[in-house]
Chain A
Amino acid sequence: MKWLGAFITFWENFKIAFKSLAANKMRTSLTTLGIVIGVLTIVSVASIISGLNKGFAEQISNIGSNVLYINKYPWIIMDDWYKYKNRPDITLREASFIREHSKYAEAVAPTSGRRSIVKYKDKILEDIRVVGIVYEEKDVENFEIDEGRFFSPIEVSRKRSVAIIGYEIKERLFEDDDPIGKKILIGGQKFVVVGVRSKRGNIFGQSLDIDVYVPLGTLYSKFGHRRSVGIQVKVKDPSLMEEASEELRFWMRVARALKPTEPDNFSINRQETLLKTYRDLTRGLYTAAFGIGALSLIVGGIGIMNIMLVSVTERKREIGIRKAIGAKRSTIVLQFLIESSMLCGVGGLIAVILSFIVSMLIDKLTPFPATVPLWSVVGGVIFSSLIGVFFGLYPAAKASKLDPVESLRYE
């Protein structure tokens, strides 16, 4: 029976709190506004963050996690650019050297690119990335073909003028026509389309489907030899990335006959480097954003405390009456705590609803993909209720300590 009594007390206090909030609609909504803004900030930030993370994860999923990239420059340059500018180009010879010597490598695929005009009949696409690839390309990345086929080994080794086009290139040049077997002009040179790469999608507003692929040798013979390649190395055992990276570094230094005192004049990049940098860059940003959100929640909480203190003073007589007819201190505390946490909880709920709208707008109007994560919804409501409890504690305690005789005399 004791728990039943406790439940009744709780439920009745809930109703009392609701009525008292409903009686002061203007005050209630203004007070709640502070909490709404605070929770909205936090949930919106969380939704942007989660969108960014998702977008970034998608982005780098195109970079194999078990692939090492030997490039002229590091992907991320934190110090001065000029340190790197005199580095020699990475050559095909070095790619062959790596392929020959590396024990960790499963596949080695050099790649290079340039920008060209692509034409088909009267349609012209400008500034299209033309990527030279080797036959092993399909071993180091997920190269799916939508129509037609991948290059044959002979087409690659004989430097044939064949091309695989990105999905969007196909849509823009050929519309409904079948592109396979058609001749296109890349930088004024004739190429035959043999395949269409499967659709890969959009990242940060940038399409991954507007590239054209040709055999690397063909790229060299048609557009010149003076270009740097990137060497993609797929590692056999993904758990040995560190060791593989060290080994590649060693062989590159051997290939370039670097003295022990000379620094590396190449970079070995990998997905993890990007991830790490991304996390480093965003951590500060997120902390700041959450800090601002937390700050506005605290400001909102102080507003709640203030209004609850006013409410306690205003309702001194009511508190006196309740105490005179048997409300215990704990009951009074409960009544005011429920009231303040309800005030905040409602604020949190409104904020969560608004955050769905905000995140939809962000998603539509900005290049950031935004989703409202469930944890931020649940967390927003619970956290704001806790704010209500925390900032309601002092006014509630004050109410419960009122002397009934004095309160009853209060006009």
Chain B
Amino acid sequence: MDKLIELKGIKKVYKVGKVEVHALRGIDLTVRKGEYIAIMGPSGSGKSTLMNIIGCLDTPTEGVYHLEGVPVHEMNDSQLAEIRNKKIGFVFQTFNLLPRANALHNVELPLIYAGVPASRRKKIAEHALEIVGLKDRKHHRPSELSGGQRQRVAIARALVNRPSLLLADEPTGNLDSKAGEEVMKIFEELYENGNTIILVTHEKYIADHARRIVHIRDGRIIDDTGVAS
């Protein structure tokens, strides 16, 4: 299998006033295409920082990051935006939908930034909503949807540009267990269809859905179950 992500010696240091905070102290991680990985760790372990760096929202202080063989650590702001747009689909704990836009428009957003013409955009976005089972809710605003439905809209938005990687940060954190299970079922289907998924969570039963679990503590990987054979 091809390497999708290759992290070598990733370090991240924040400066809070005069104090330096070492969020990541040297991460080496390789993710192959089609993997379903959970990154686990308590809060403050650096798992969110790691996810932000993998998702190109943040850049490492030190270290090398190749995404599909491309050296992401050397990229500028605008190139990173393009990577986020084309290669990565985000699913957040708080959904992060635009409150004034309806479901369809929220899903269309990445396509707008990719410069896709309106008619094709609508078709693709509708299809994505169909995949998450919300075709009949496309004209509803986030406030008119339940938490589970909102997260499914967010997943549709993450999928719409056919990204190489789906990044989910505590995707069930704000959902009740039933809605959470539904969301996890969608991830399972996506994985079976060949999508690469990285899940960040601190809950064991959520992490157990993944095929590989990476434990992180104090900015270091302390355990990696490795690629499931």
Contacts and interface: CB of A to CB of B under 8 A. Distances in A.
Contact of B98 (A318, A329, A404, A408): A318
B163 to A, nearest CB: 10
Contacts, number: 72
Interface stretch (A6-14, A171-179, A273-281): A6-14
Contact of B82 (A23, A318, A328, A408): A328
Given A19-B100, A326-B86, A405 B57 contact: yes
A107 interface: no
Contacts of A129: none
A330 interface: yes
A93 to B, nearest CB: 89
* Consensus secondary structure, chain A interface: helix
B78 A8 contact: no
B13 interface: no
B92 A326 contact: no
Contacts of A203: none
Interface stretch (B62-70, B105-113, B182-190, B219-227): B105-113
Contact of A408 (B81, B96, B109): B96
B157 interface: yes
Interface stretch (B35-43, B114-122, B132-140, B173-181): B114-122
A350 interface: no
Count class of interface residues, chain A: 20 to 34
B100 A23 contact: yes
B77 A329 contact: yes
B96 A324 contact: yes
B84 interface: yes
B71 to A, nearest CB: 19
A324 B115 contact: no
Interface in A300-348: 317-318, 320-331
Most chain B CB within a 10 A radius of its CB, from A1, A324, A325, A329: A325
Contact of B115 (A5, A323, A330): A5
* 3 tightest Cβ-Cβ pairs between the two chains A and B: A326-B85, A5-B115, A326-B113
Given A327-B113, A331-B113, 17 more contacts: A5-B115, A8-B117, A20-B100, A23-B100, A320-B96, A321-B97, A323-B84, A324-B57, A325-B110, A326-B114, A326-B161, A328-B77, A328-B113, A329-B77, A405-B52, A405-B58, A408-B96
